Structure 1
Amino acid sequence: MKRLIYFLLFLGVSSCSFFESQQKRTQEQIDEKMLGIDWSTVDSYPLFDSCDEGVTKDEQKKCFEETLASHFQETLSEFEFTLTDKESEIVEVIFVIDTMGRINVINIEKDASVLTQMPEFDGVITQSLKNLPKLAPAIKQAIPVNTKYRIPVQLKTN
């Protein structure tokens, strides 16, 4: 009977360390795999419904950028912005497309003269991004991921 109790105690103690070492090895393998992933790129760009998901990554990027540029151009042409200080001004729009395909404006970097001459500019840009057609998020390792973009918008003067 004593032997059975010692055996059960030994089994209980050794099985805990067995599971701990197996868990530790699994975590080490996960950590190693994570280090090998290039997090600066995505496997698939965010896609509008009008873009074909079966094309190459470069073609997906081109469709995304062209659709975005076309939408910006359409939206901004509806408003009359006038800059008088410079021949042209470049405004940087920084936004994130989240894992649900929603767009969140992070910042709009612009010269102080743009803010002074066009105080409604930020609202127009933000609303333009919110009114984009339906968007699927970027994909990395078969998982939807957040992606951050910086888009230059060139404003011309009269």
Structure 2
Amino acid sequence: MKRVVFFLLMILISSCSFFDSKQKRTQELIDEELRHMDWNSVDSYPFFYTCDEADTKEQQKICFEETLISHFQETLNDFEFTLTDKESETVDVIFVIDTLGRIRVDKIYKNALVLNQMPEFDGVITQSLKNLPKLAPALKRGIPVNTKYRIPVQLNTN
């Protein structure tokens, strides 16, 4: 009887440590995978619902960029911006697409010339981004992730 109790007790003790080591090993594998993951790229780009979700990653990127640029051009063509001192000026618009597909302007980099001559520029850009067609967020390993983009906007005086 003592041997049976001892045997059962040994099984119980060794099985607890077996589960602990299995859980520890799983966590080590997860940590290792996270260390080697490329956090600067996504598995699929944000896409507008007018684009094809089954396209390749490169085709998704092209559709995303073309739709975004086309929308910006249409919006900016409706406004008359005037620069008097230079022939052209570049403004960088930094925006974020969150995990729900919502867009928000993070920062607009422009010099004092643009700020002084076109004070309404930020509002037009922000409104243009808010009026974009609905889009799905970028995915990393099947999980929606925030993504940040920069669009250089060339303002010409001609």
Could you tell me which residue of structure 1 aligns to residue 27 of structure 2? Answer: 27
Task: Please identify runs of 4+ aligned residues in structure 1 that moved more than 4 A.
Answer: 1-16
Structure 1 residue 79 corresponds to structure 2 residue 79: yes
Partner AA of 2:125 in structure 1: I
Partner AA of 1:146 in structure 2: N
Could you tell me which residue of structure 2 aligns to residue 50 of structure 1? Answer: 50
Q: Deviations over 1:66-88 (max 9, x none)?
A: 10000000111111110112110
Separation in 2, partners of 1:111, 1:22: 58
Separation in 2, partners of 1:119, 1:2: 89
Identity %: 73
**Partner secondary structure for residue 52 of structure 1:** coil
**Partner secondary structure for residue 55 of structure 1:** coil
TM-score normalised by structure 1 residue count: 0.89
Structure 2, unaligned runs of 5 or more: none
Evaluate the alpha carbon distance shift between residue 79 and residue 19 of structure 1 in structure 2; reply closer, same or farther with a 3 A threshold: same
Separation in 2, partners of 1:95, 1:5: 67
Quote the RMSD (CA, aligned, Å).
1.9
Q: Offset of 1:16 from its aligned partner?
A: 4.3
- Between stretches 53-62 and 99-108, larger displacement belongs to 53-62
Separation in 1, partners of 2:80, 2:59: 33
Structure 1 residue 128 corresponds to structure 2 residue 128: yes
Q: Offset of 1:8 from its aligned partner?
A: 7.2
Could you tell me which residue of structure 2 aligns to residue 67 of structure 1? Answer: 67
Q: Offset of 1:145 from its aligned partner?
A: 1.0
Evaluate the alpha carbon distance shift between residue 6 and residue 66 of structure 1 in structure 2; reply closer, same or farther with a 3 A threshold: same
* Number of residue pairs aligned between Structure 1 and Structure 2: 158
Structure 1, unaligned runs of 5 or more: none
